[in-house]
Amino acid sequence: MGTVAGSITCANAAEARKIANALLRKRLVACANILPKIESHYWWKGKMCKSSEALLIIKTRKNLAKKIIKEIKALHSYELPVIEFFDSTLNKEAAAWIEKETAKK
């Protein structure tokens, strides 16, 4: 099936926790890590911007990406949340753990 890591910038750590908990409860991710304070620089609506955000990192199966995107869009405060997925190469034990924890119960 394949494992992926994902990253989502959030308005703050509370929002990242809310999204992480929802994804975990629905078994869409095996793990979520929150970096509570990052500084982001970006273009938005023609202007260069800077803000403090939180970064949510998730570990999951590749075939769950569409469900995860839908869930995040429903919960996220941003007009345009950035949801990135990266193929990951894991040791077999970690990959098996992700597969097991994101399987339907």
For the chain, the structural domain boundaries read 3-101
Domain 3-101 architecture: 2-Layer Sandwich (3.30)
- Percent of the chain at pLDDT above 90? 92
What is the rounded average pLDDT of the residues 13-20? 98
Strand pairing category for 31-44 and 47-61: antiparallel
- Angstrom distance (rounded) from CA 31 to CA 42: 27
Encode pLDDT of 27-58 as tens digits: 999 999 999 999 999 999 999 999 999 999 99
Q: Residue 3's closest CA among 55, 56, 68?
A: 68
Helical H segments across the chain, by residue range: 13-25, 65-75, 92-101
pTM: 0.94
Cβ contact 60:30 at 8 Å: yes
Query: pLDDT value at position 104?
Result: 76
